[in-house]
Amino acid sequence: MDTDLLDKLNLEPDYESMQLFAASSAALPDISSETLQNTLESCGHGECELESERVLAFIAAARQGPTDPMPLGPIAHGEMKLDIADDGLTAWLTVTPPRGGRAVGEDAAIDSIWAEGVVHGVDKDAVRRIVRVADGIKHVIARGVPAQDGEDAWFQPLVADMVDRRPRIDDSERADFRELGGVITVQAGDPLIRRHPPTEGEPGTDVQGLPIPPRPGANKQFRGRMKGVRVDDGDPDLLIAAIDGQPIWKDDTVMVSPTLDLDQVDLSTGNIDFNGTVRVRGEVAYGMSVRASDDIQVGGLVEGASLSAGGDIVVRGGIIGQRRKGSDRFNAIVRCEGSLEARFLEHTQVICGTDVLVRDLVANCDIEAGEKIIVGARGTRKGHVMGGRYEAFEIIRAVQLGSPSGVETRLRVGNQFRLKKRIRQLTDRLRDPSLPPEMAEYTQMRQSELGETLAGLENHASIIAKDGVFTRVVMQIGAVTRNFTADAAGGAYRRRQNTIELDLSR
């Protein structure tokens, strides 16, 4: 740097006019824009935005002789900006460097932050670093403490391995088939469920020191009118068995059902009509019938027989029947309010309240499922549906649909009629003035859930064939029908306006 220039050149910011002034005490014949800029940078004014006309005017005057102070361009002080998140849990600080003016002071920045109300969770060391760097970037300088929402009331089963009526279906709509185990039984007075009340949660604090209220946990009570159970006299949060029997877990509560154990059902036992759960270790013989108000569990084969249950039906050996002579009716008939699980189904009529879950094969059946039809166990290549009529509310899933021989196979999902009918039934129940409050609450919740399901049905209803679809398969989704006149690729078929197409987005 030219020391002569530095000695003769005087640079002085004026904080009233916010201008940078320059004056020379003697002629500077060698001064130029470049030498002037170098001198500005050495004096700490390199960030100033000089105005070219004023610079040239000063250079011309300084080459001639001494000058009075002349403005070169505006200056600016360093600035800081504080931002607070909408939820009040984060504050950011932005500091810009000065251009010839005063820099933001560290203590002044902290005082300003406090003055603007940010008083909780402030990182003073971070503020000082941000002020020193002054990079014009937004940095976090304070964090609040979020509220911890309360936990919802929940129910803890106290009996290991209670029967769970919710079918095991994974995210890919595959059924998890389990072998039948022993029936768990309890005696009157045994504890069944512990209710854990909701918690209030912990309040938080935002960066301005204001409290953030937590969302309290939702409350749930034991449902009324559950068979075979009662609330303990000395503990309102404990549900105990009122009778001896089998505990069955269902929808966050439990019932105790009396159980009938049989080696087989045949002419030696006669037809079975039992108010409780029926467990058959062996087979149900041709022409026999089993009716249970709760569940039916069969360890062997069901051949040409009828099963009727108010709960679930599980048949480990499969169900086989045939059409009656001169009729479209079958001699193997299954009806249940819950789900049906079986190894295979052949020439069987099924009317099921929730899911039909079949491990290996479904052939020439007539099946109506209130929710899903899932054919094919996880990890196997089995899972064919061939011939017959199949209707489910939301999903039909199998490995293959139809057969190479071209037997007609009709499948339907997305029928809104039954769902609307169920919603109307719930509405009628809510009008009953004798309905207990706890049952009214559950009925209203179920009505709302079904309403949401109805609203999204057309987007979710699907027929899925993992490996392929054979000719003469007829699919119907809602009111739209597609007849397959040739074999087609596997995948998920969904309704798209007035057509049924393979969904390639998944």
- Cα–Cα distances in Å, from 46 out to 34, 36, 107, 165? 12, 10, 25, 78
pLDDT bracket for residue 383 (50, 70, 90): very high
Structure tokens at 137: 């970037």
Under the banding of pLDDT at 50, 70 and 90, the label for residue 33 is confident
The mean per-residue pLDDT over the stretch 68-73 comes to 90
More confidently predicted of 142 and 371: 142
Q: What is the distance between the alpha carbons of residues 102 and 14, in angstroms, rounded to a whole number?
A: 11
- For 259, phi then psi, to 5°, come to -120, 135
User: What span, in angstroms and rounded, lies between the C-alpha atoms of 96 and 378?
Assistant: 61
Backbone region of residue 336 per phi and psi (left: phi > 0; alpha: psi in -120 to 50; beta: other values): beta
Q: What is the DSSP string of 43-77?
A: TT-TT----HHHHHHHHHHHHHS----EEEEE-B-
**d(C-alpha 50, C-alpha 97), whole Å:** 16
Please, which residues have CB within 8 angstroms of residue 91's CB and are 6 or more apart in sequence? 82, 83, 84, 85, 113, 118, 122, 140, 141, 142, 143, 207
> Which of the four pLDDT bands, split at 50, 70 and 90, describes residue 223?
confident
Q: What is the pLDDT of residue 251?
A: 66
Burial 186-197 (b: 16+ CB within 10 A, else e): beeeeebbebee
- Residue 468 pLDDT: 94
Joined tokens for residue 258: 């009396």
Contacts of 175 (CB under 8 A, 6+ apart): 167, 168, 169, 341, 355, 357, 358, 359, 374, 376, 377, 378
Highest mean pLDDT among 106-115, 266-275, 497-506: 106-115
Q: Confidence band (pLDDT; 50, 70, 90) for 166? A: very low
Q: How far apart are CA 59 and CA 46, in angstroms?
A: 17
Q: Nearest-CA neighbor of 6 among 24, 20, 33?
A: 24
**Of the listed ranges 77-91, 154-168, 483-497, the one predicted with least confidence:** 154-168
In this structure, are strands 139-143 and 90-96 parallel, antiparallel, or unpaired? antiparallel
Q: Rounded to an integer, what distance in angstroms lies between the CA atom of residue 440 and that of residue 432?
A: 9
The yes-or-no verdict on residue 39 having pLDDT over 50 is yes
What is the pLDDT, as a whole number, of residue 140?
95
For residue 424, what pLDDT is reported? 83
* Nearest Cα residue to 410 out of 347, 338, 482, 464: 482
Nearest-angstrom CA–CA distance, 362 and 84: 62
* Cβ(257)–Cβ(246) below 8 Å: yes
Q: Is 31 a residue whose pLDDT tops 90?
A: no
> In this structure, what token pair is assigned to residue 431?
């009008």
Instruction: Evaluate if residue 335 carries a pLDDT over 50.
Output: yes
Q: How many CB atoms are closer than 10 A to CB 210?
A: 13
Q: Which amino acid is at 440?
A: A
Helix (H), strand (E) at residue 457: helix 457-460
As a whole number of angstroms, the distance between CA 311 and CA 306 comes to: 15
State the DSSP H helix or E strand holding residue 9, giving kind and residue range, or none if neither.
Answer: strand 9-14
C-alpha–C-alpha distance, residues 376 and 358, integer Å: 6
First-last CA distance in the chain: 69
| Antiparallel, parallel or unpaired: β 480-483 and 473-477 | antiparallel
Q: Give the start-to-end residue ranges of the domains of the chain.
A: 3-74, 79-143, 258-416+460-502, 417-459
pLDDT above 90 as % of the chain: 51
Contacts for 108 with CB less than 8 Å, ≥ 6 apart: none
pLDDT band at 40 (very low <50, low <70, confident <90, very high): confident
Whole-angstrom distance, CA of residue 290 vs CA of residue 277: 11
Q: Of the given ranges (87-101, 324-338, 467-481), which has the lowest mean pLDDT?
A: 324-338
Residue 170 has pLDDT above 70, yes or no: no
How much of the chain exceeds pLDDT 70, in percent? 92
How far does Cα 331 stand from its chain's mean position? Answer: 43
What local confidence, expressed as pLDDT, does residue 17 receive?
87
Pairing mode, if any, of strands 340-346 and 319-320? Answer: parallel
DSSP state of 428: H
* pLDDT per residue as tens digits for the range 443-501: 888 888 777 777 666 667 899 999 999 999 999 998 899 999 999 999 999 988 889 99
Top-confidence range, 8-12, 97-101, 189-193: 189-193
List the single range of 34-38, 75-79, 154-158, 201-205 with lowest mean pLDDT.
34-38
pLDDT at 2: 58
pLDDT at 217: 92
Structure tokens at 451: 């309403």
Averaged pLDDT score across all residues of the chain: 87
pLDDT in tens, 391-441: 998 899 999 999 999 999 999 998 776 677 778 888 888 888 887 887 788
φ, ψ dihedrals at 394, nearest 5°? -120, -45
d(CA 231, CA 241): 9
For residues 353 and 4, the model is more confident at 353
| pLDDT at residue 180 tops 80 | no
Residue 378 has pLDDT above 60, yes or no: yes
Cβ pair 290, 305 in contact under 8 A: yes
pLDDT of residue 456: 67
Q: pLDDT, tens digit, for every residue of 252-308?
A: 778 887 888 889 999 988 898 887 889 999 999 999 999 998 899 999 999 999 999
Instruction: Report the DSSP pairing between strands 272-274 and 296-298.
Output: unpaired
What's the pLDDT at 15?
87
The pLDDT tens digits of the residues spanning 347-362 come to 999 999 889 999 999 9
Mean pLDDT of all residues in 379-385: 86
253 C-beta neighbours (distance < 10 Å), count: 20
